[in-house]
Amino acid sequence: MKKSITRELQQFMHGVRARNPYEKEFQQAVQEFAETVMPWYLDHDKYRSQKILDRLTEPDRIISFRVTWEADNGDVMMNRAWRVQFNNNLGPYKGGLRFHPSVNRSVLKFLAFEQVFKNALTGLPMGGAKGGANFNPRGKSDAEIMRFCHAMMTELQHHIGEDVDVPAGDIGVGAREIGFLFGKYNQLQNRWSGAITSKPSDLGGSLIRKEATGYGCIYFCEHALNHQDKTLLGKTVAISGSGNVAIYAAEQAMEQGAKVVTLSDSNGTLYLPGGLSREQLPLIKDFKEEKRERLSRFVNKLKGAEYHPKLKPWDFPADVAVPSATQNELNLKDAKTLVNNGTMVICEGANMPTTADARAYFQNADVLFLPGKAANAGGVAVSGLEQTQNSMRVSWSREEVDEKLHSIMRGIHTKCAEYGTENGNINYVVGANVAGFSTIARSISAFGIL
Ligand code: NDP
Ligand code: 2IT
């Protein structure tokens, strides 16, 4: 990197750190972004003089509130919840809700920041937001989950709406939670509206939304491999997580002829040396989606599977790694193990699952690195299609939605190639960040000084 660019970057990050002390995840997401867009930014005096990058690292607003609810044993419980509305230049704020004990302002700010550019890449009219609570759904009864969701929506309803801000699911927020949140919203508003997406289809959700992030991720991976005259056929794929993204990434990887050798949860890793079979996938869906069991509780039902409580998916040999659990789950040590074992592709199903040093290591080792902003955009893309269907009061078929998802993932790949091609190779981190940034920068500039 040129000295002048390094100097600008240091100065910029000094300001970001000073304004957001202690927010490590947010600083990390901004640093990764700024590093890659700075050369383009410095080439565009118009945007630089309007301080577009500085303005873009400050959310439009953060709503912070208390959620009080009652446990089954009568205890009064309290959680913290937030909605970070980052930028709505391209459309209503849009992004998921996360329920996990690790949720805090920094985590939601990094997620909302990345959502702005991810949503811009889809080409659909969506701004960027994220929300959630430091609530742990694990071990709670359905009645407790319901009371928590209803209590949360009692406040959140004031800040969302189909033309204002449209939440969806994320970690810990699946069909059950969306049902409770959406029901309460409709009751409080006394009307039906598409103010929440990733709804089950019988509540007005889009077909393929449940599958969209995982499927889209594998479609994107296939595009990137095809660009190098390769395919997923016959490749071994290590996937982390066993939630919404992981399960459908596994399903689509198998559809493309790959062999899925791992899944995981926060307690350990499931290793299937012979690959996950088509007969085993419905069992995993049932235990994870319906019964919400830990992998260790049903590994004995999966023929040929081993369970390793102390190991990560990255400890097992695979051609392609698809981190699909949470941020910073793949560190430098894991990156070295993967490269030593011959892994050729990292395709991020989760948001920022790779630490900064691990990402740099992969890029120096010529590993094909596909960042989450591009690779996992399929979920929010089909959320966008769900908004359209809800507004039009129509339901598209699985085939129609899947065709549109394919076309959006193809379009994102084309944008990455347009903005990220260096010496004949695509740098997908540069491509995704600069393509998203240029779209948002144009819109901020067009609005004047706001
Ligand atoms: P789920 O809640 O369905 O699944 C999360 C999975 O990750 C679970 O297996 C969970 O294990 C594991 N996990 C969560 N936190 C940790 C942790 N701290 N350490 C280890 N494992 C962990 O979430 P999703 O599948 O929806 O989301 C996964 C990732 O994908 C997130 O980064 C999310 O932001 C991102 N994403 C999701 C989209 C969506 O449409 N759902 C769209 C785009 C990105 P356990 O059950 O043991 O906690
Ligand atoms: O990180 C993400 O893109 C999501 N959790 C999906 C957001 C959405 O609005 O569907």
112, 130 in Cβ contact below 8 A?
A: yes
Q: What does the DSSP 8-state code read for residue 289?
A: I
pTM, entire model: 0.98
Closest C-alpha to 386, from 88, 166, 70: 166
87 lines ligand 1 (CB under 6 A): no
Q: Give the pLDDT confidence score for residue 359 in this predicted structure.
A: 98
Pocket test for ligand 2, best of 110, 115, 385 (most atoms within 8 A of CB): 115
Counting from 1 in the atom list of ligand 1, the atom nearest the Cα of 102 is: 18
How far does the centroid of ligand 2 lie from the alpha carbon of residue 446, in Å? 27
The dihedrals phi and psi of 365, each to the nearest 5 degrees, come to -90, 10
77, 70 in Cβ contact below 8 A?
A: yes
Helix (H) or strand (E) holding 136: none
Identify the nearest ligand to the CA of 97 by its number. 2
CATH 3.40.50.10860 residue ranges of the chain are 61-192
What are the Cα distances from residue 96, in Å, to 114, 128, 205? 12, 10, 15
Active-site residues: which are they?
130
**pLDDT by residue for the chain (450 residues), tens digit each?**
788 899 999 999 999 999 999 999 999 999 999 999 999 999 999 999 999 999 999 999 999 999 999 999 999 999 999 999 999 999 999 999 999 999 999 999 999 999 999 999 999 999 999 999 999 999 999 999 999 999 999 999 999 999 999 999 999 999 999 999 999 999 999 999 999 999 999 999 999 999 999 999 999 999 999 999 999 999 999 999 999 999 999 999 999 999 999 999 999 999 999 999 999 999 999 999 989 999 999 999 999 999 999 999 999 999 999 999 999 999 999 999 999 999 999 999 999 999 999 999 999 999 999 999 999 999 999 999 999 999 999 999 999 999 999 999 999 999 999 999 999 999 999 999 999 999 999 999 999 999
Q: Which residues of 209-219 are buried (b: 16+ CB within 10 A; e: fewer)?
A: bbbbbbbbbbb
CATH 3.40.50.720 residue ranges of the chain are 210-372
Identify the residue whose C-alpha is closest to ligand 1 atom 28.
Answer: 325
Query: Which is it for strands 93-99 and 128-133: parallel, antiparallel or unpaired?
Result: parallel
- Structure-token pair, residue 199: 């709804």
Q: Give the pLDDT confidence score for residue 132 in this predicted structure.
A: 98
Pocket test for ligand 1, best of 210, 322, 326, 330 (most atoms within 8 A of CB): 326
Topology of domain 61-192, per CATH? Rossmann fold (3.40.50)
Q: Give the pLDDT confidence score for residue 171 in this predicted structure.
A: 98
223, 332 in Cβ contact below 8 A?
A: no
How far does the centroid of ligand 1 lie from the alpha carbon of residue 326, in Å? 5
How far does the centroid of ligand 1 lie from the alpha carbon of residue 265, in Å? 9
Tokens 């190779």 correspond to what residue? 425
Q: Give the pLDDT confidence score for residue 134 in this predicted structure.
A: 98
The angle formed by the CA atoms of residues 358, 27 and 32, to the nearest 5 degrees, is: 45
> Tens digit of pLDDT for each residue in 146-192?
999 999 999 999 999 999 999 999 999 999 999 999 999 999 999 99
Q: What does the DSSP 8-state code read for residue 299?
A: G
Query: Which is it for strands 76-87 and 61-70: parallel, antiparallel or unpaired?
Result: antiparallel
Neighbours of 101 (CB within 10 A): 13
Identify the residue whose C-alpha is closest to ligand 1 atom 30.
Answer: 350
CATH entry, 210-372, from 3.40.50.720, 3.40.50.150, 3.30.1330.20, 2.40.30.110: 3.40.50.720
Q: Give the pLDDT confidence score for residue 172 in this predicted structure.
A: 98
Q: What does the DSSP 8-state code read for residue 206?
A: P
Counting from 1 in the atom list of ligand 1, the atom nearest the Cα of 245 is: 25
Pocket test for ligand 1, best of 98, 166, 171 (most atoms within 8 A of CB): 171
326 lines ligand 1 (CB under 6 A): yes
Identify the residue whose C-alpha is closest to ligand 1 atom 48.
Answer: 266
243 lines ligand 1 (CB under 6 A): yes
How far does the centroid of ligand 2 lie from the alpha carbon of residue 318, in Å? 27
Identify the nearest ligand to the CA of 381 by its number. 2
> Tens digit of pLDDT for each residue in 186-219?
999 999 999 999 999 999 999 999 999 999 999 9
Q: How many residues does the chain have?
A: 450
Kindly list the protein residues whose Cβ atom lies closer than 6 A to any atom of ligand 2.
Answer: 94-96, 115, 118, 168, 170, 197-198, 351, 379-380, 383
